[in-house]
């Protein structure tokens, strides 16, 4: 036997991790910690295809919009590029470094028209840092992709009130469009 994957997983508070194997795909389901100040935890998922003695990360990488941003920022640059446009992936390294410094806060959520529809989520790490606006599309959790990264909230999108309810951030794509 040979170990082909050795990574730390941020399972929250010692919760149990469920492992399943279907053919050559291994899936780990767990409660993950979040780097934001409001939700603290999310449903975590890590799925790998075991092929030619290697473990290759498969989608979905998260089960919600907020979880997708959190997980995408934790990926290395090569894996992050698999779940983003080339433009968004080019910003990954700097974003991951900047947003890891402090806990983030959700600042704005909006649904944007177009094909495919996009959910725009703005986060901020610390009061003095600029906001970062992620445009995420996908008709289900396996198809989620970072389409854009910006420092401006789009005026063309329909804002969603998040003052008392973060469900739009922790929703799956199918629940939101």
Tokens 């629940």 — which residue? 175
Instruction: Name which of 58, 60, 79 is nearest 138 in CA terms.
Output: 60
What is the DSSP-derived secondary structure letter of residue 84?
Answer: B
95 contacts 84 by C-beta, under 8 angstroms: no
52 contacts 4 by C-beta, under 8 angstroms: no
CA pair distance 9, 24, nearest whole angstrom: 21
Say which residue, 175 or 106, is predicted with more confidence.
106
Taking residues 78-92, report their average pLDDT: 97
pLDDT value at residue 36: 67
CA pair distance 123, 85, nearest whole angstrom: 19
Taking residues 39-65, report their average pLDDT: 88
Say which residue, 6 or 30, is predicted with more confidence.
30
106: left (phi over 0), alpha (psi -120 to 50) or beta: beta
pTM for this model (two decimals): 0.85
Q: What digits encode the pLDDT tens for the residues 107-152? A: 999 999 988 889 999 999 888 889 999 999 998 999 999 999 999 9
Rounded percentage of the chain residues whose pLDDT exceeds 90: 58
DSSP string, 13-62: GG---EEEEETTEEEEEEEEE-SBSS--EEEEEEEEEEETTEEEEES-S-
pLDDT value at residue 56: 93
- How would residue 85 be classed by pLDDT, with cut points 50, 70 and 90? very high
- How would residue 44 be classed by pLDDT, with cut points 50, 70 and 90? confident
């Amino acid at each position: 036997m040979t170990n082909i994957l050795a990574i730390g997983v941020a399972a929250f508070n010692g919760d149990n991790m469920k492992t399943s194997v279907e053919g050559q795909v291994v899936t780990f389901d767990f409660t993950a910690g979040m780097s934001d100040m409001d939700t603290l935890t999310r449903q975590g998922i890590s799925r790998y295809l075991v092929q030619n003695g290697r473990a290759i990360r498969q989608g979905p990488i998260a089960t919600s919009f907020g979880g997708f941003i959190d997980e995408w920022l934790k990926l290395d640059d090569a894996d992050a590029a698999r779940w983003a446009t080339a433009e968004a992936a080019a910003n990954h390294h700097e974003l991951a470094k900047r947003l890891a410094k402090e806990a983030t806060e959700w600042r704005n959520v909006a649904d944007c028209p177009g094909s495919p529809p996009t959910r725009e989520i703005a986060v901020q790490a610390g009061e003095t840092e600029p906001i970062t606006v992620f445009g995420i599309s996908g008709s289900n959790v396996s198809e989620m992709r970072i389409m854009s990264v910006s420092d401006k909230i789009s005026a063309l999108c329909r804002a969603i009130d998040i003052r008392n309810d973060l469900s739009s951030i922790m929703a799956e794509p199918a629940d939101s469009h």
